[in-house]
Amino acid sequence: MTNGVRAQQRQQTRDTLLRESRRLFSKLGYASVGLSEIVGAAGVTKGALYHHFDSKAELFRAVLEQVQQEVAALIAAEADVQEDPWDQFTYGCQAFLSASTDPAIQRIMLVDGPAVLGWGDWRAMNEATSGRHLAQALTVLIREGTVAPQPVAPLAHLLSSAAWTSSTCPSVVCRR
Q: What is the pLDDT of residues 142-169, one digit of tens each?
A: 999 999 999 988 888 888 777 766 665 5
Question: What is the pLDDT at residue 165?
Answer: 67
Residues in the chain where the model's pLDDT stays below 50: 170-176
Global confidence as pTM? 0.84
Burial 5-42 (b: 16+ CB within 10 A, else e): eeeeeeeebbeebbebbbbbbbeeebeebeeeebbebb
User: Is residue 106 within 8 Å of residue 71, measured between CB atoms?
Assistant: no
Q: Write the single-letter amino acid at 53.
A: F
Asked if residues 163 and 93 have their Cβ atoms less than 8 Å apart, the reply is yes
End-to-end CA distance of the chain: 62
